[in-house]
A and B are shown apart, each in its own frame.
Chain A
Amino acid sequence: QKEVEQDPGPLSVPEGAIVSLNCTYSNSAFQYFMWYRQYSRKGPELLMYTYSSGNKEDGRFTAQVDKSSKYISLFIRDSQPSDSATYLCAMRSGSGGGADGLTFGKGTHLIIQP
């Protein structure tokens, strides 16, 4: 079993729809959870950064973390064609003075149809 599981998609939805992206993980030591957006041949762009369980909202984006289920989600409201990209979940533990590298999901390819 991989440490982080993420459906690679592609996920295709019409413009304006609510998008739900998810990851599951197996390592209970993970405490910091991130969502990145990556366009083709570009570096990942940090979208959301959360610690432990709970919700965090930023504009059209909402991140949810359920540590008891080892499940994290990213919701995108009022989706736009410009949101079309690969979305990567990433996480790390809180040990080692916070210098841990990230463990990534495989990424979900999202397509927003105009």
Chain B
Amino acid sequence: GAVVSQHPSWVICKSGTSVKIECRSLDFQATTMFWYRQFPKQSLMLMATSNEGSKATYEQGVEKDKFLINHASLTLSTLTVTSAHPEDSSFYICSARHGGQYFGPGTRLTVL
């Protein structure tokens, strides 16, 4: 139990385009999901908390207009990186709470 999936697993896009990443809880409902970013050889850094039916809460230094989060149902949260630039290239990972926090497999974004 407590499986979280992400799609896509990797994406390459051109600078200036937008990319949408989906996070799904497969066998439980999650009113709250979290989005993290991990740069090479660095730890996971919390970007935002996604709340079902309400606005996301962003961590200090994370641009809410650049990283759009939608949590439209109890099993799905999406992160859209708008006008992506090479410095946005990273490993994006979502998680959902079910007792402990369970993480998806991550999405590797490369912006050319």
Do B106 and A88 touch (CB < 8 A)? no
B61 within 8 A of A: no
Taking beta carbons and an 8 Å cutoff, which residues of B are in contact with A? 4, 6, 32, 34, 36, 41-46, 49, 51, 59, 91, 93, 95, 97, 99-106, 108
Do A103 and B46 touch (CB < 8 A)? yes
Do B106 and A36 touch (CB < 8 A)? no
**B48 → chain A, closest Cβ, in Å?**
8
> Chain A 36-63 against B: per-residue CB contact (8 Å), 1 yes, 0 no?
1000011111100100000000000000
Chain B residues with CB below 8 A from A102, complex form: 34, 44, 46, 95, 101
Closest 10 pairs between A and B when the two form their complex, measured CB to CB: A49-B100, A101-B46, A43-B103, A104-B43, A106-B43, A43-B105, A43-B106, A99-B32, A104-B44, A44-B103
Contacting residue for A107 out of B36, B43, B93, B100, CB 8 A:
B43
Do A41 and B101 touch (CB < 8 A)? no
Do B97 and A98 touch (CB < 8 A)? yes
Chain B residues with CB below 8 A from A34, complex form: 100-101
The DSSP consensus for interface residues of chain A is loop
How far is it, in angstroms, between the C-alpha of A44 and the C-alpha of B34 when the chains are bound? 13
Q: Apart from A43-B105, A101-B34, what 6 extra A-B contacts exist at CB < 8 Å?
A: A43-B6, A43-B106, A88-B43, A99-B32, A99-B97, A106-B43
Candidate in B34, B49, B100, B103 with the most chain A CB atoms within 10 angstroms: B100
**B40 → chain A, closest Cβ, in Å?**
10
How far is it, in angstroms, between the C-alpha of A104 and the C-alpha of B105 when the chains are bound? 17
Q: Which of A63-109 contact B (CB under 8 A)?
A: 88, 90, 98-107
Contacting residue for A41 out of B91, B99, B104, CB 8 A:
B91
Given that A88-B43, A102-B46 are known contacts, is A41 also in contact with B108, CB under 8 Å in the complex? yes
How far is it, in angstroms, between the C-alpha of A107 and the C-alpha of B44 when the chains are bound? 9
How far is it, in angstroms, between the C-alpha of A42 and the C-alpha of B91 when the chains are bound? 9
How far is it, in angstroms, between the C-alpha of A102 and the C-alpha of B100 when the chains are bound? 10
Which residue of the partner chain B has the closest CB to A8? B41
Chain B residues with CB below 8 A from A103, complex form: 46
